[in-house]
Amino acid sequence: MRLAELGRSTYFRFALALTAAFLGAYVLAGLVAFRAISTDLDKRVTQSVELAAERYEDTFAAAGRAGLVAAVTARIAVADPEDEFIWLGSHLGQAVAGHRVAGVETLASGDVDGSRLGTDPGERFRVAVRDLGDLRLVTGQSYEESDAIGSAVLEAFGTATAVLLVLAVLGTALLSRRAQLRLDRISNTLAEVSLGNMHRRVPLSGSGDDLDRLSTRINEALARLETTVEGIRQVSVDIAHDLRTPISRLGIRLEELLAEAQGQPALSQRLETASAEIRQITATFDSLLRIAQIEAGARKSRFQPVALADIGASLHEAYLPVAEERQQQLEFTIATTAAALVYGDRDLLTQLFANLIENAIRHSPAGAAIRLEIGSGTGSVYMSVADNGPGIPAGERPNVTRRFYRLDKSRQSPGSGLGLALVKAISDLHGATLELDDNAPGLVVKLTFEPCNPPRGDLAGI
């Protein structure tokens, strides 16, 4: 399934919405947790600074000024100035022990920038200030370690979020694709049924889920539809069979009466008219039976590689005198250097092409140009018949392939309205695409086939 098709999938969009909601809740919970962790780390730094200040207060209370100076001096010897700051001096700013930084005596307890303590600007420190007699003590600790822990937690959270996002999207795409493929199987089955393959059924996964239950109901409906359509088709075929024989006998009887009525012009004319009507009725029944046979797929057993160019050349030769008699031009073009081969029934394809040529000749006026063309494109082979006659209105084109459908302007001309219906049945049997388009003016009918490939194993039994 292409990405664009996946994006139009209802399953995918629904799953993506759930994933987005879950990720939103996950990110919100993560930010709350990160805030709590960050606040706790800051509290630990504050508590550590306050505890250190209290220890120095205890030292001053126990050992006086000398003991406090000694404790500060000893701590300075081992303290990392990047992480810990200690200053001891007078209220006027005169340093007694610890780090030598100007202006420290003006600090108050709280957070300060590292530049105030002689370290890197932008680095946060927590300081605690204590007045011990005539001395002032400033002790501080960097937030660097807690910030590093916070950054590591945030980085881990971001990585986990990214991984979760990728897994969620992939999982969503996979599950949606599986569901969409099952929906596509349902859609493809219905599409094939609409083209006349009434035997197709939706395959079941066996999971018994909602799609399986829906597929089961669809299959039941298709089975009933197949029975109904087959019954209607069989009735039509039976009627055609039952009526064809007596009508044929009637035609023979009329021919006999026509032969006996020689010398009686009025009677002969009436018998000839009746005989022509009988021939038209017989041709209609023959077309109905032929369409029924084609739609049943019985002719697929005769499929073999067929050269469309050979059919086009023979039909052009056969119909050229007819077109010239009606003062029309009939041209034939092969628009490819490769052999335009399709896999099909040669007789049916010949009849299909002949029907299109006859329609073009019959419905085009004198002086019209009719063009037959055989060609091939990318992965396809096509045949087309184009004329510059009256054409077919765009709104009528989907209807003219229906049985017995005739345009109002053609109802007075001979015919049964089965010509294009037969063309449609033959094209569907061959899996071809039938297109009726405007030739500006006139009509162009184009059939596009899949190119002939060596028969597959599954065609052996067709």
**Angle subtended at Cα 127 by Cα 125 and Cα 128, rounded to the nearest 5 degrees:** 165
What are the tens digits of pLDDT across the range 243-261? 667 777 777 877 777 777 7
Which helix (DSSP H) or strand (DSSP E) does residue 380 occupy? strand 380-387
What token pair was written down for 77? 């010897």
What DSSP assignment string belongs to 64-126? HHHHHHHHHHHHHHH--TTTEEEEEEETTS-EEEE---TTGGG--SEEEEGGGGTS-TT-EEE
For the 210-295 domain, the top CATH level (class) is mainly alpha
Centre a 10 Å sphere on the Cβ of residue 89 and count the other Cβ atoms it contains. Answer: 19
What DSSP assignment string belongs to 425-443? HHHHHTTPEEEEEE-SSSE
Phi and psi angles of residue 403, each rounded to the nearest 5 degrees, phi first: -65, 135
Cβ contact 416:285 at 8 Å: no
pLDDT for the residue 8: 62
Q: 3-class SS at 207?
A: coil
What are the tens digits of pLDDT across the range 368-418? 888 998 888 777 888 889 988 887 877 777 777 776 555 544 444 555 556
Query: Residue 197 corresponds to which amino acid?
Result: N
366-392 burial, b at 16+ Cβ within 10 Å, e below that, comes to eebbbbbbbbbeeeebbbbbbbbbbbb
Which helix (DSSP H) or strand (DSSP E) does residue 273 occupy? helix 265-295
What token pair was written down for 311? 């059919």
What are the tens digits of pLDDT across the range 38-58? 888 889 988 998 999 899 889
What token pair was written down for 130? 């204590």
- Band (232; pLDDT cuts 50, 70, 90): low
HSE toward the beta carbon, residue 365, CA cutoff 13 A: 6
pLDDT for the residue 455: 46
pLDDT for the residue 7: 58
457 vs 395, which has greater pLDDT? 395
Q: At what angle do helices 419-429 and 265-295 cross, to 10 degrees?
A: 20
Is residue 169 pLDDT above 50, yes or no?
A: yes
Phi and psi angles of residue 369, each rounded to the nearest 5 degrees, phi first: -110, 125
For the 3-147 domain, the top CATH level (class) is alpha beta
Q: What is the mean pLDDT of residues 231-240?
A: 67
Average pLDDT in the chain: 79
Is residue 73 pLDDT above 80, yes or no?
A: yes
pLDDT for the residue 405: 59
* C-alpha distances out from residue 74 to 68, 97, 98, 286, 367, Å: 10, 10, 9, 118, 118
What sign has the CA pseudo-torsion 417, 419, 422, 426?
Answer: negative
- CA atoms of 324 and 302, how far apart (whole Å): 35
Is residue 1 pLDDT above 50, yes or no?
A: no
What token pair was written down for 60? 């001053």
What percentage of the chain reaches a pLDDT higher than 90?
Answer: 2
DSSP assignment letter at 203: P
**CATH 3.30.450 residue spans of the chain:** 3-147
Q: Which fold has domain 300-459?
A: Heat Shock Protein 90 (3.30.565)
- Band (439; pLDDT cuts 50, 70, 90): confident
What's the pTM value of the predicted model, to 2 decimals?
A: 0.45
* Lowest-confidence region among 18-27, 269-278, 425-434: 269-278
What are the tens digits of pLDDT across the range 281-336? 776 666 666 666 666 555 566 778 888 888 888 889 988 888 888 888 888 888 87
- CA atoms of 74 and 96, how far apart (whole Å): 13
pLDDT for the residue 299: 57
- Band (348; pLDDT cuts 50, 70, 90): confident
200 vs 6, which has greater pLDDT? 200
Q: What is the mean pLDDT of residues 222-243?
A: 72
Query: Residue 182 corresponds to which amino acid?
Result: R
* Lowest-confidence region among 107-116, 233-242, 256-265, 453-462: 453-462
What percentage of the chain reaches a pLDDT higher than 70?
Answer: 83
Is residue 271 pLDDT above 60, yes or no?
A: yes
Q: Cis omega before residue 441 (within 30°)?
A: yes
pLDDT for the residue 412: 46
Q: In which residue are the tokens 């299959």 written? A: 219
Report CA dihedral (108, 114, 118, 121) to the nearest 10 degrees.
-140
What token pair was written down for 208? 């018994």
Kind of pairing between the strands at 380-387 and 369-377:
antiparallel
- CA atoms of 44 and 63, how far apart (whole Å): 28
* Lowest-confidence region among 145-154, 194-203, 370-379: 194-203
Phi and psi angles of residue 60, each rounded to the nearest 5 degrees, phi first: -65, -40
248 vs 221, which has greater pLDDT? 221
